[in-house]
A and B are shown apart, each in its own frame.
Chain A
């Protein structure tokens, strides 16, 4: 049987989309954020982005060579992983730590579980959390304009006042890619227009998170506080680029809603009640682990199939 001949039942859909095309769209959508990060943080950010991408592609290539698997670096998924990981790092991080995180993301989180499509957790976030646990000091050291400063989110947690306009545009300290909510939204619009992602997951995520913040942050109905929470930290980047990863998010419509609510509530819990100011990456990888269970209980009913009725209880007739 040749690979050219695929036998399947109708309807037959022919589309030009394949993995590398979709990955290319994601890279394009990430470009505004990347450029703004490099503009914002200088050449050090460019160096980290380059190092992460090169290390990710190289480690995928070498791993596949070593275990004798088919070379898959052409599908660009390793480039996306490297780019996302770099956007999740502070620009002051030592290079060797970035290399280690990239190798961990590709080899341990992705390749050891069988490569693209088999990973149970977003590789970039796996790499970030690995670095966050291993090198807590350098991973939470943020500088802006050469001055060490707390992230706006940490200031929100400490009840200090923040400039929400700066946070929207991105003129604040933080990781390379998370500061500018505006650039991320431009990227998200590109992705939605290209049909790569749909709004269900990010929408329910942000909505449930907002409700959680309004209810539990202890500030009542404070719009400034809400906007600071939405624009600060990795929420936007996580909601649009990492929670929507095809491999690690549910495919069922109801599952997507449940997954989004899980993300929103977990992020809220981590941010409001947790020790650290940020909680997006932990919320996403935790929800990634729930995805198989969510999909299992939300399998949609096939068209025309009647829901099996519970047998009626036998009344006293007999």
Chain B
């Protein structure tokens, strides 16, 4: 599959930020009282995500590793400010109903997570598609939750009242607990669908971890539930570049333990496997 298409598919389905990675829960639970709010929040996050992914990816060789977090935040915050002013000017109603959650896009886990785990290691174009995929995945998730909550909690959909349902709305779904119920049910449905697909003999590729299996350098590693088996295999010695440099006998043993494909992965990722390594190579070059 084309790499860019693969990023889109990844964001929309395989690693959907809302239903699979469970990232950005704060806006997900707080603003999805209606479908319009869900779409508005999702799209504004998408715009910020795409732009910040592109800029961070373009600057990835310029940003010193130690200050990458502040640098990412500054980039993201600039775009959020632009989006905020645009929304205040052109969609004042949406701006008021989203309220504090627009400036809070700055600290949205999805945006920082993608910057940290993808954009800062990959070229501009794939990063852009990664941003589009993740952003649309987020938008779809928020809109779905918003639609369900609006129908159940308010008896309307996209602000259009559904007449027979209007008398039967359940206020709870417009409040915070309703958000948890709807999210939980949608995640459960999604898991059932994924399981069915796997049983049908269309095995979904396992969630690969955000860096293509390289979780050790990821800041979200401790909290991440999407860790793949791949990096567990990689924890076998060969990750250390010193071992790769050792005599043939050692390398043979390594090849016996890990299968060929994994050793390839390891060699590929060996050069940029962790920030510490990057630092070392940088110094050597100097």
Q: How far is the CB of A87 from the nearest CB of chain B, in Å?
A: 22
How would you classify the secondary structure of chain A's contact residues: helix, strand, loop or mixed?
helix
- In whole angstroms, how far apart are the Cα atoms of A100 and B171 in the complex? 13
Q: Size of chain A's interface in residues, with CB distance under 8 A?
A: 8
Q: How far is the CB of A221 from the nearest CB of chain B, in Å?
A: 40
Q: How far is the CB of A253 from the nearest CB of chain B, in Å?
A: 34
Q: Mark B174-200, 1 if CB is under 8 A from A, else 0.
A: 010100010000000000000000000
In the complex, identify which listed stretch (A18-26, A131-139, A271-279, A306-314) lies at the interface while the others stay far away.
A131-139
Is A136 a contact partner of B171 (Cβ separation < 8 A)?
A: yes
Is A133 a contact partner of B181 (Cβ separation < 8 A)?
A: no
- In whole angstroms, how far apart are the Cα atoms of A133 and B176 in the complex? 11
Q: Size of chain B's interface in residues, with CB distance under 8 A?
A: 8
Within 8 Å by CB of B181, from A100, A108, A135, A136, lies A108
Give the residues in chain A near B181, CB-CB below 8 Å: 108
Give the residues in chain B near A136, CB-CB below 8 Å: 171
- In whole angstroms, how far apart are the Cα atoms of A130 and B170 in the complex? 9
Is B168 a contact partner of A133 (Cβ separation < 8 A)?
A: no
Q: Which residues of chain A from 112 to 154 have a CB within 8 Å of any chain B CB?
A: 130, 133-136
Q: Indicate the member of B168, B170, B171, B175 with the most A CB atoms within 10 Å.
A: B170
Q: Mark A95-115, 1 if CB is under 8 A from B, else 0.
A: 010001000000010000000
- In whole angstroms, how far apart are the Cα atoms of A136 and B181 in the complex? 19
Is B171 a contact partner of A134 (Cβ separation < 8 A)?
A: yes
Contact sample, A vs B, 13 pairs, CB 8 Å cutoff:
A96-B168, A100-B170, A133-B171, A133-B172, A133-B175, A133-B177, A134-B170, A134-B171, A134-B172, A134-B173, A135-B170, A135-B171, A136-B171
Interface set of B (CB-CB < 8 Å, partner A) = 168, 170-173, 175, 177, 181
Other than the known A133-B172, A136-B171, what 13 A-B pairs have Cβ atoms closer than 8 Å?
Answer: A96-B168, A100-B170, A108-B181, A130-B172, A133-B171, A133-B175, A133-B177, A134-B170, A134-B171, A134-B172, A134-B173, A135-B170, A135-B171
